[in-house]
Amino acid sequence: MLLIQDIHAETDGKKILKGVNLEIKAGEVHAIMGPNGSGKSTLALVLAGREEYEVTQGRITFFGKNLLELSPEDRAHEGMFLAFQYPVEIPGVSTTQFIKTAVNENRKYHGEAPLDAVAFLKLMKEKMRLVDMDQSLLTRSMNEGFSGGEKKRNEIFQMAMLEPSLAILDETDSGLDIDALRIVAKGVNTLRNENRAILLITHYQRLLEYIVPDFVHVLYNGQIVRSGTKDLALELEEKGYDFIREESESSVSATQPENISKT
């Protein structure tokens, strides 16, 4: 489904990704872990097409298409979904209105007629149950005045509505209490099936107790330095990131660790 080959990316002249390779197949759940500043969120934003990040080398194919040539909205139309680490507020635009626009834009791309009000409402009711979404949030302005947990739930709710092939969850667990985390995980697990892949980006192992990954990768200093199964996450939990640091510094001596503020 997704094939990332030797991706290098930079922003403001600062190199952040330095040769990432990753393949994700339908039905798989991958987790990318790593310390702050390792480039995890950059990878998510590069996949989604944020213009601030310039890809200087490498290629990415998504269902065989050259992903880097697609606009952010076409990547979405092709089935890529990013649950944002910091969901954005859009004053005056109700959550319903926003999602309806998104759903119908996606349908338009695939040559489908827009959903009428009744069908849309029915679909929304059904998906709301998945994430225990409160009805009142739907009429409020998009993310405006939402708590951290409400914002994250709203992300998962949109994911449920848009039914993507590849869902990238960027630090969806950050700032969530345990109840909210369970709800979010339940939403994600319900959507998990053999046609859909999920890429979890997280700093902590905690989320992986609820959404069990098939593969775990460690991103460090812009490269994937270790890959393994969920046991790798446990190992990281136990030893911390320091052992990765030591390990990679001895093996990848050419690249000096940099202090990267933006992840």
Partner 1 sequence: MKDELSTLQQTVLKDYKYGFVTDIETDTVPKGLNEDVIRLISAKKKEPDWMLEWRLKAYAGWLKMEEPKWPNVAYPPIDYQDIIYYAAPQQKPSLNSIDDLDPELKRTFDKLGISLEEQKRLSGVAVDVVMDSVSVATSFKKQLEEIGIIFCSMGEAIQNHPELVKKYLGSVVPMTDNYFAALNSAVFTDGSFCYIPKGVRCPMELSTYFRINAENTGQFERTLIIAEDESYVSYLEGCTAPMRDENQLHAAVVELVALEKAEIKYSTVQNWYPGDKEGHGGIYNFVTKRGICQGYRSKISWTQVETGSAITWKYPSVILKGDSSIGEFYSIALTNNYQQADTGTKMIHLGKNTKSRIVSKGISAGFSNNSYRGLVRASKWATNARNYSQCDSLLLGDRCGAHTFPYIEVKNNSSVVEHEATTSKIGEDQLFYCKQRGIDSETAVALIVNGFAREVMNQLPMEFAVEAQKLLAINLEGSVG
- Contact range with partner 1 by CB under 8 A, out of 34-42, 137-145, 222-230, 252-260: 137-145
Q: Judged by CB under 8 A, which of 90, 123, 252, 260 binds partner 1? A: 90
165 binds partner 1 (CB under 8 A): no
**Whole-number Cα distances in Å, 65 to 70, 186, 252:** 9, 31, 32
Residues 61/47, Cβ–Cβ less than 8 Å: no
Q: Judged by CB under 8 A, which of 109, 112, 147, 258 binds partner 1? A: 109
Return the number of the residue (158 or 221) whose C-beta is nearest partner 1: 158
How far apart are CB 169 and partner 1 at their closest, in Å? Answer: 13
- CA 92 to mean position of chain CA atoms: 26
How far apart are CB 31 and partner 1 at their closest, in Å? Answer: 21
Report, in this order, helix, strand and coil percent for the chain, each rounded to 5: 40, 25, 35
Return the number of the residue (10 or 78) whose C-beta is nearest partner 1: 78
Strands 166-170 and 141-142, sheet pairing: unpaired
Size of the site for partner 1 (CB under 8 A): 40
Please give the residues from 195 up to 254 whose contact with partner 1 meets the rule CB under 8 A.
Answer: none
Q: Judged by CB under 8 A, which of 93, 123, 191, 212 binds partner 1? A: 93
Strands 166-170 and 29-33, sheet pairing: unpaired
Say how far apart CA 167 and CA 80 lie, in whole Å. 6
Say how far apart CA 240 and CA 34 lie, in whole Å. 10
Return the number of the residue (45 or 208) whose C-beta is nearest partner 1: 45
How far apart are CB 185 and partner 1 at their closest, in Å? Answer: 22
Angle, in degrees to the nearest 10, between helices 178-191 and 148-162: 10
Beta carbons within 10 angstroms of residue 16's beta carbon: 24
**Whole-number Cα distances in Å, 191 to 97, 164, 176, 236, 244:** 23, 9, 20, 27, 32
Q: Judged by CB under 8 A, which of 4, 22, 33, 82 binds partner 1? A: 82
Q: Judged by CB under 8 A, which of 12, 64, 69, 92 binds partner 1? A: 92
Q: Judged by CB under 8 A, which of 12, 13, 69, 91 binds partner 1? A: 91
The contact set with partner 1 (CB under 8 A) reads: 48-51, 71-73, 75-77, 81-82, 84, 87-94, 96-102, 104-106, 109, 114-115, 138-139, 141-142, 158, 162
